[in-house]
Amino acid sequence: MSKSSRATAADVARAAGVSKWTVTRAFTPGASIAEHSRERVLQEAAKLGYRPNLLARSLATKTTNLVAILVDDFANPYKLPVLEVLTQALQAEQMAAVLININQHFDHLSAILDADQRQVDAVILVGTDFKDEALNEQALPASRPPLYVLARESTIAHIPAVSCDARVSMAEINQHLWQRGYRRPGFMSGPRSLSTALGRKQHFNTFWQPHCGAPVPELRAGSYDRNAAAQVLRAYLQHTSAAERIDVLMCENDALAIGAIETARHEFGLRVPQDLAIVGYDGDELAATPSFNLTSYRQPLPQMVAALIRMLKGELPPQSLNLPGELLIRGST
C-alpha cells in the first residue's frame, strides 16, 4: 500500500496473508468465510483504514444504491420536510440521494439522462412541475432508471406516483367548509401541469359546481410560490367588489395559502376567516404558527415515503398509491 492513496482489498489481503477474494468475503454479509479468517481480515482492515470502494463495487454489481431526487420548487418551504423524510428513509436502507435542481438551465430530460449516466438505481420526481408529454417522449433512453413520482399524481400510465389521496382529502375539506357555512368558494391553483389538473382542483370543483350554479372562480398562481399567490389574489380583490367576492379560498398548497393570507390581511385589511376564509394543503409546519393558523390537510409523508422505498427495494410492485392524510382544522376557516 502506498501512503498517498487509500488501502485496497489487495493491500489488506497481503497484510492478512489471504487472497483478495477472502477480503471481499469478509465485507459481504452472509458470504462463506471461516470465522477466524474473517476476524483476521477485519482486524487488518481496521489497522489500514480500509473500507471497500463503493464505486468499484457498483461497477461490478450494477447497483449503486444511489437515487436521484429531482426538485424544481425551492420556493416552497414544504420541500424541506419532504427532503428530510426522504433522505432519512433512504439512508436507513444504505442508500443515498443525489439532489438535482431542475430549473431553466437544467430540464427534466437532462436531469434524467445525467442521473442515468451516473447509474442511479431510480429517479424520484418530488412534486415537480413536469409536462407529462416530456416524460412520455421517445427521448428517454430505453433502459433508463425507473421513475417514480412523489407527492403528485401522474397521468403517465407507466410511472408510479405515490401521493396523498386527493379524492378523500378534498371530500373532507369540502364537507368541513360546507358545515362551516361557506357557499362561495374559489380555488387557487399552482403550476398548470396536467397531472395537477386531475387532482385537487377537480375534486373541489366537482363538489361545489352543482351547489354554486356558476363555475368556481379559479385564481391561477402558476407556481407554488407565496409571491405568485399574493399577486393573483391582489388582482382578484382589486377587480372584484366586496359583495361579489368569494367567501373561502381553497389553495392548492400551503405556500399559496400563506401568500394569500398575507395579502388579504395586510394589503386589503380583510379579516381571516371572517371576511375571507383560507384553506391550504400539505400540513406544512409553518402554517400552524399563530400568525397563519391555517386550516390545512396533512400529507401522510412518512407513509408515502415508506411505500416508495418498499417499491425501490422490490418489496412492493411499482404502482400508484393514494394514501389518506389528516384534516387539520385551524383558525383560518
Query: Binding residues for DNA, per CB under 7 A?
Result: 5-6, 8-10, 18-22, 24-25, 27-28, 32-37, 50, 52-53, 56-57, 59-62
Q: Which is nearer to a second copy, 144 or 184 (CB)?
A: 144
User: Does 10 engage in binding with a second copy (CB under 8 A)?
Assistant: no
Classify 230 as helix, strand or coil. Answer: helix
The Cα–Cα gap between 236 and 251 comes to 14
CB of 159 to a second copy, least distance (A): 20
End-to-end CA distance of the chain: 69
Q: Which does 46 bind (CB under 5 to 8 A by kind): DNA, a second copy, none?
A: none
Q: Which does 37 bind (CB under 5 to 8 A by kind): a second copy, DNA, none?
A: DNA
Residue at 149: amino acid letter: V
Half-sphere exposure of 64 (CA within 13 A, CB side): 18
CB of 240 to a second copy, least distance (A): 21
**What residues from 128 to 167 belong to the interface with a second copy (CB under 8 A)?**
141-143
Q: Which does 61 bind (CB under 5 to 8 A by kind): a second copy, DNA, none?
A: DNA
Round the CA-based radius of gyration of the chain to a whole number and report it.
25
User: Does 64 engage in binding with a second copy (CB under 8 A)?
Assistant: yes
CB of 135 to a second copy, least distance (A): 16
Alpha-carbon separation of residue 157 from 63, 107, 136 (angstroms): 26, 21, 10
> Quick one: which segment of 12-20, 205-213, 258-266, 315-323 binds a second copy (CB under 8 A)?
258-266
Q: Which is nearer to a second copy, 144 or 167 (CB)?
A: 144
Q: What b/e sequence results for 65-92 when a residue is b if at least 16 CB atoms lie within 10 Å of its CB, and e otherwise?
A: bbbbbbbbbeebbbbebbeebbbebbee
Q: How many residues bind a second copy (CB under 8 A)?
A: 58
**Closest to 159 (Cα-Cα) out of 194, 124, 193, 191:** 124
Q: Which does 19 bind (CB under 5 to 8 A by kind): DNA, a second copy, none?
A: DNA
Give the three cell numbers for residue 219: 385564481
Please say whether the beta carbons of 163 and 153 come within 8 A.
Answer: yes
User: At which residue does the C-alpha cell 465485507 appear?
Assistant: 27
Q: Which does 74 bind (CB under 5 to 8 A by kind): a second copy, DNA, none?
A: a second copy
**Closest to 226 (Cα-Cα) out of 268, 258, 191:** 258
Please say whether the beta carbons of 44 and 100 come within 8 A.
Answer: no
CB of 164 to DNA, least distance (A): 38
Q: Which is nearer to DNA, 25 or 152 (CB)?
A: 25
Please say whether the beta carbons of 188 and 233 come within 8 A.
Answer: yes
Please say whether the beta carbons of 325 and 298 come within 8 A.
Answer: yes
User: Does 44 engage in binding with a second copy (CB under 8 A)?
Assistant: no
Q: Which is nearer to DNA, 29 or 290 (CB)?
A: 29
Report the DSSP pairing between strands 218-220 and 321-323: unpaired
Among 91, 175, 240, 319, contact with a second copy (rule: CB under 8 A)? 91
The Cα–Cα gap between 221 and 215 comes to 18
Q: Which does 34 bind (CB under 5 to 8 A by kind): DNA, a second copy, none?
A: DNA
Binding site for a second copy (CB under 8 A): 4-6, 49, 51-56, 58-59, 64, 66, 69, 74-75, 77, 79-81, 83-84, 87-88, 91-92, 96-101, 103, 105-106, 113-114, 116-119, 141-143, 226, 258, 261-262, 265-267, 285-286, 289-292
